[in-house]
Amino acid sequence: MAKNIESIRNIEKLKDTFSNVAKEISKIIVGQEEVIEQILIAILCDSNALLESYPGLGKTTMIKTVANVLDLKFSRIQSTPDLMPSDIIGTYVIEEEKGKKTFRFQKGPVFANIILADEINRATPKTQSALLEAMQEKQVTVGNQTFALDAPFFVLATQNPIDMEGTYPLPEAQIDRFLLKILINYPNFDDETEIINRYTKTGAIARVRTLLSKDSLKLLQNLTRQVPVADDIKKRALEIVTRTRTTKDLIEYGASPRASIGLILAAKAKALVNGRKYVSAKDIEDMAYPVLRHRIILNFKAEREGKTPDDVIRELMK
């Protein structure tokens, strides 16, 4: 009972904890609070995110900073057309010890807690599949041996909306496995001024403190799933997802039930990050954009009208 009360007291402090995490990240990353929140949400949901932005917006720095603050092992995979699955997963290498040759498994960059798969659409489908399998199963199989990946495991794949020549766009079925599609926009004038000031002066760039341990993160992931949701909020989430399938005048293909699960889960994580013990309708509406935008395919009419997935989602929620 006393332990329970203590745990409840700790829950009360969660808002401060996440606020401190955001503050710590902001020492390196200027602005982009919403993006940072969405990355945290994806981590809390024990899921993966697809990050779309123009080059030079600080994706790598952002993920590195998040990894440092959360005490997670970070690795980066730069996707290119000649990238092989073994380059990601790892491979067996011959090792000679005292004249005896043995095969030893050399772990690839996938054996980390946070993976930044940069420009994933430049890798071949074979390599993409290898990474996506690791994302889904949280394990990799090489030969006849299976290796479990460290928990928590989070892949942040990026792709550029421009320069699509020579790329292999992710198939819809694989895109569906990403919980969120996070969009990074250009910083506003004030933020960019601050970026210039911070990174063009002499002196050491600020270092971030580790605020959460791996175990704490696992506990938080567990807590995320425990956040209660009211029946009418669940109904609202389902209505939004269902409308993506029935609004045929704008959408060619709607979202799957995985989207419904993702929407509720993401809303729970958002509630937790904001220090709430319940999911509000606003959480659902806020998370509908990153959860659904990569899961719907607009039809010709919507594209001709110049509508983006976010515009259509906004219309669905009216």
Q: Which residues bind another protein (CB under 8 A)?
A: 4, 7-8, 11-12, 223, 226-233, 277-281
Task: For residue 134, give both structure tokens.
Answer: 């690791």
Q: Which is nearer to another protein, 41 or 233 (CB)?
A: 233
Q: Which is nearer to another protein, 205 or 281 (CB)?
A: 281
Q: Which is nearer to another protein, 125 or 228 (CB)?
A: 228
Phi (first) and psi of residue 223, to 5 degrees = -65, -35
Task: Provide the b/e sequence for 239-259 (b: ≥16 CB within 10 Å).
Answer: ebbebbeebeebbeebbbeeb
CA distances from 113 to 24, 46, 76, 147, 227 (A): 19, 11, 11, 14, 24
Could you tell me which residues come within 8 angstroms of residue 298 by beta carbon, excluding any fewer than 6 positions away? 250, 251, 252, 307, 309, 312
Quote the least distance from Cβ 4 to another protein, whole Å.
Answer: 6
Q: Which is nearer to another protein, 4 or 145 (CB)?
A: 4
Directed axis angle between helix 257-273 and helix 14-25, to 10°? 90
Q: Which is nearer to another protein, 160 or 260 (CB)?
A: 260
Residue (of 313, 54, 278, 69) closest to 163 by Cα position? 54
Could you tell me which residues come within 8 angstroms of residue 86 by beta carbon, excluding any fewer than 6 positions away? 108, 142
Q: Which is nearer to another protein, 196 or 281 (CB)?
A: 281
Quote the least distance from Cβ 316 to another protein, whole Å.
Answer: 21
Task: For residue 85, give both structure tokens.
Answer: 């699955």
Quote the least distance from Cβ 13 to another protein, whole Å.
Answer: 11
Question: Cβ distance 246 to 266 under 8 Å?
Answer: no
Quote the least distance from Cβ 1 to another protein, whole Å.
Answer: 11
CA-to-CA distance for 210 and 65, rounded, in angstroms? 10
Quote the least distance from Cβ 33 to another protein, whole Å.
Answer: 23
Q: Which is nearer to another protein, 10 or 141 (CB)?
A: 10
Quote the least distance from Cβ 2 to another protein, whole Å.
Answer: 13
Quote the least distance from Cβ 234 to another protein, whole Å.
Answer: 9
Number of other CB atoms surrounding residue 117 within 10 Å: 30
Q: Which is nearer to another protein, 236 or 294 (CB)?
A: 236
Quote the least distance from Cβ 102 to another protein, whole Å.
Answer: 47
